[in-house]
A and B are shown apart, each in its own frame.
Chain A
Amino acid sequence: GAGVSQSPSNKVTEKGKDVELRCDPISGHTALYWYRQSLGQGLEFLIYFQGNSAPDKSGLPSDRFSAERTGGSVSTLTIQRTQQEDSAVYLCASSPLQGDTEAFFGQGTRLTVV
């Protein structure tokens, strides 16, 4: 497809389990972002990949969160030992290198930890 694709669209998991969220960016986009959005709230920055540079992990809330981007394309956000406060919509976005182009967002993964 032409847009940013995220899977799954919904995920319900039990507290303590690990989850993996996937993001397929737009082909050719060098930048990839993960954000978290709790209900009715703003976008909390989690992690940012830009080309082959080391990722900016400054937004990851704890060491239970990690992300990879393989081959400069697909990214996986992993949450270990999920907690109820991890429940949120996780949004992925990608953009080309040019600074004047907006970030394109996926539809998000709604994570519910029960």
Chain B
Amino acid sequence: AQKITQTQPGMFVQEKEAVTLDCTYDTSDPSYGLFWYKQPSSGEMIFLIYQGSYDQQNATEGRYSLNFQKARKSANLVISASQLGDSAMYFCAMREGYTGGFKTIFGAGTRLFVKA
């Protein structure tokens, strides 16, 4: 069964607008972490933001914020004021706690295209 689901293979957004990239996850482990990475065409994996399962507030890092809805098992990434350089592949990832062996697994990714 899929543990990380990203349902949007591709997304378009106008420059300077906000965009939400969806991510849902499945785990029975009470302790887990959620991550978002960006992969530009150069291929490097760039860490963006982290949310812990016990964190009460949504994580924010500059223009990135994570909309964490624990009951819905949702961890959407919101990018505000999109820039052309945001065009890339975005991956959601989850690291489970003890019961999951602390393994990190990734979703299939969403390719974001920012239009000028």
Q: Point out residues on A near B: beta carbons under 8 Å.
A: 31, 33, 35, 40-43, 45, 48, 50, 53, 56, 89, 91, 93, 95, 97, 99-100, 102-105, 107-108
B108 touches A93 (CB 8 A): no
The answer for the CA separation of A104 and B31 in the assembled complex, in Å, is: 21
The answer for the CA separation of A104 and B37 in the assembled complex, in Å, is: 10
What's the minimum C-beta distance from A45 to chain B, rounded to whole angstroms?
6
Question: Can you report 19 A-B residue pairs in the complex whose CB atoms are below 8 A from each other?
Answer: A31-B102, A35-B106, A41-B109, A43-B91, A43-B106, A45-B103, A50-B101, A50-B103, A56-B101, A89-B43, A95-B104, A97-B102, A99-B95, A99-B97, A103-B35, A103-B47, A105-B44, A107-B43, A107-B44
Interface residues on B, range: 20 to 34
What's the minimum C-beta distance from B92 to chain A, rounded to whole angstroms?
10
What's the minimum C-beta distance from B71 to chain A, rounded to whole angstroms?
21
The residues of A that contact B101 with a CB separation of less than 8 Å are 48, 50, 53, 56
Total of A-B residue pairs, C-beta within 8 Å:
58
Chain B, residues 45-75, CB within 8 Å of chain A (1/0): the string is 1010010100000000000000000000000
The residues of A that contact B111 with a CB separation of less than 8 Å are 40
B43 touches A33 (CB 8 A): no
The residues of B that contact A40 with a CB separation of less than 8 Å are 111
What's the minimum C-beta distance from B11 to chain A, rounded to whole angstroms?
15
B45 touches A105 (CB 8 A): yes
A100 touches B47 (CB 8 A): no
B108 touches A33 (CB 8 A): no
Which of A33, A42, A53, A89 interacts with B104 by CB under 8 Å?
A33
Residue of B47, B93, B104 ringed by the most chain A CB atoms within 10 A = B104
The residues of B that contact A99 with a CB separation of less than 8 Å are 31-33, 52, 95, 97, 102
